[in-house]
């Protein structure tokens, strides 16, 4: 089988949105080519020295790449991708050059490319993300999350995901009930289950995400503690969680904060990520206006995570 590589030259701010558009078009994984990677201390971060070729990287912005089968539906899917990306400025998401290019890749080359660059990465004190084909010996207290780029929406090492995982590790208590809103690959749900959550409800509106979360949960043997459902944010949800985690765009986070406040138990936490720096204040103001108390903000590269708490005296019932 041959595949078409679709490469979008866009902005760092648009990475999450463009990745989601690829998913809607049927792609099962994305590659982020960010020139900032050329200057990272890879030995400290990944334990291995990678020889990166600067000629493969843009001089400005980023490349977001994905793969679709070269078949009769390709033209329609590419047209959908181009139109959806062109519409992003309506949501105050800059798209930069917005150059879309296609090239043909044979399946065996595609598989090799994934495996060459996807290595085990320790993203927090206890959590390591490992591709299924890599041998890795964890330490006694290390938690391993296995992912396969063919099943997931990426490698789980985007800054927004790392921020979310680190926040879960700091704040999740054993036996907490967790809601994961916009589950994507399911990595946050799996992490919550492995960190001791009594149960996790994983919600996503996208069928591909629902399937991916379920597949990855099975892969990580967390099925018994994760319920995966198709759902639009927190609409019609009745569970009263201890923790809600959501790694999605700032504009979408603002749409769910009111429901999150009413659903959470007193002292419950809302962990949000996917927030670009310039949207940080807008989200902080929305959270405080809805009644939350800000517990923590953390930055990684251009991204922000916010942990907010529902006060002890706040009512649980919807008004």
Do residue 184 and residue 203 come from a single domain?
Answer: yes
Do residue 132 and residue 276 come from a single domain?
Answer: yes
Under the banding of pLDDT at 50, 70 and 90, the label for residue 198 is: very high
Do residue 132 and residue 86 come from a single domain?
Answer: no
Do residue 139 and residue 253 come from a single domain?
Answer: yes
* 52 in a structural domain: yes
- pLDDT in the model for residue 109: 59
Do residue 179 and residue 136 come from a single domain?
Answer: yes
- pTM (predicted TM-score): 0.69
Beta-bridge partners for 66? 6, 30
* CATH at 108: 3.30.70.120
Alpha helices in the chain (DSSP H): 15-24, 42-46, 74-86, 107-117, 159-171, 187-194, 207-219, 250-263, 280-289
- pLDDT in the model for residue 139: 83
* 315 in a structural domain: no
Do residue 216 and residue 98 come from a single domain?
Answer: no
- pLDDT in the model for residue 27: 83
Tokens standing for 297?
Answer: 């903000």
* 278 in a structural domain: yes
Q: Is 160 annotated as a binding residue?
A: no
Q: Does residue 318 register a pLDDT over 50? A: no
Q: Is 196 annotated as a binding residue?
A: no
CA distance 279 to 310: 21
Do residue 291 and residue 163 come from a single domain?
Answer: yes
Rounded to the nearest integer, the mean pLDDT of the chain is: 86
* 56 in a structural domain: yes
* 212 in a structural domain: yes
In the chain, the number of structural domains is 2
Q: Is 161 annotated as a binding residue?
A: yes
- pLDDT in the model for residue 40: 62
Which residue range is the domain that position 294 belongs to? Answer: 126-309
Do residue 224 and residue 187 come from a single domain?
Answer: yes
Tokens standing for 289?
Answer: 């206006």
Decide which of 157 and 75 is more confident: 75
Range with the poorest average pLDDT among 5-14, 20-29, 93-102, 158-167: 20-29
Q: Does residue 293 register a pLDDT over 70? A: yes
Q: Does residue 263 register a pLDDT over 80? A: yes
* 42 in a structural domain: yes
- pLDDT in the model for residue 117: 61
High-pLDDT (> 70) share of the chain, %: 86
CA distance 65 to 80: 15
* CATH at 267: 3.40.50.150
Do residue 76 and residue 158 come from a single domain?
Answer: no
Q: Does residue 281 register a pLDDT over 50? A: yes
Q: Is 215 annotated as a binding residue?
A: no
Residue pLDDT, tens place only, 10-68:
998 999 899 989 988 888 778 888 887 766 655 455 445 455 677 788 889 999 998 88
Do residue 188 and residue 242 come from a single domain?
Answer: yes
CA distance 269 to 246: 11
* 227 in a structural domain: yes
Q: Which of 63, 85, 117 is the last residue of a domain?
A: 117
- pLDDT in the model for residue 319: 42
Under the banding of pLDDT at 50, 70 and 90, the label for residue 114 is: low
Q: Which of 56, 86, 117 is the last residue of a domain?
A: 117
Q: Does residue 316 register a pLDDT over 60? A: no
- pLDDT in the model for residue 317: 47
Do residue 24 and residue 45 come from a single domain?
Answer: yes
Do residue 104 and residue 178 come from a single domain?
Answer: no
Q: Which of 83, 117, 151 is the last residue of a domain?
A: 117
* 248 in a structural domain: yes
């Amino acid at each position: 089988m041959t595949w078409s590589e679709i490469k979008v030259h866009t902005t760092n701010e648009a990475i999450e949105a463009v990745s989601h558009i690829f998913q809607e078009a049927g792609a099962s994984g994305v590659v982020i080519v960010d020139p900032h990677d050329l200057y990272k201390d890879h030995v400290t971060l990944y334990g291995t020295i990678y020889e990166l070729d600067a000629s493969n990287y843009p001089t400005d912005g980023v490349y977001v790449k994905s793969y679709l089968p070269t078949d009769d539906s390709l033209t329609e899917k590419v047209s959908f991708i181009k139109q959806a990306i062109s519409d992003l400025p309506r949501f105050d998401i800059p798209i930069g050059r917005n150059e879309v290019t296609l090239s043909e890749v044979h399946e065996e080359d595609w598989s090799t490319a994934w495996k060459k660059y996807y290595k085990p990465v320790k993203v927090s004190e206890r959590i390591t993300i490992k591709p299924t084909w890599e041998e890795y010996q964890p330490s006694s207290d290390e938690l391993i999350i296995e992912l396969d780029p063919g099943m997931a929406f990426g490698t789980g090492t985007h800054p927004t995901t790392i921020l979310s995982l680190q926040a879960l590790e700091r704040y999740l208590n054993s036996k907490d009930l967790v809601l994961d809103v916009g589950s994507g690959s399911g990595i946050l749900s799996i992490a919550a289950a492995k960190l001791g959550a009594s149960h996790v409800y994983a919600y996503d509106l996208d069928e591909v995400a629902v399937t991916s979360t379920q597949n990855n949960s099975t892969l990580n043997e967390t099925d018994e503690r994760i319920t995966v459902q198709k759902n639009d944010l927190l609409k019609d949800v009745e569970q009263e969680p201890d923790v809600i985690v959501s790694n999605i765009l700032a504009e979408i986070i603002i749409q769910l904060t009111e429901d999150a406040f009413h659903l959470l138990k007193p002292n419950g936490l809302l962990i949000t990520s996917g927030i670009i720096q310039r949207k940080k204040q807008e989200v902080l103001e929305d959270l405080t206006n809805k009644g939350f108390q800000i517990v923590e903000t953390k930055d990684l590269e251009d991204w922000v995570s916010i942990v907010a708490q529902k006060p002890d005296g706040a009512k649980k019932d919807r008004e």
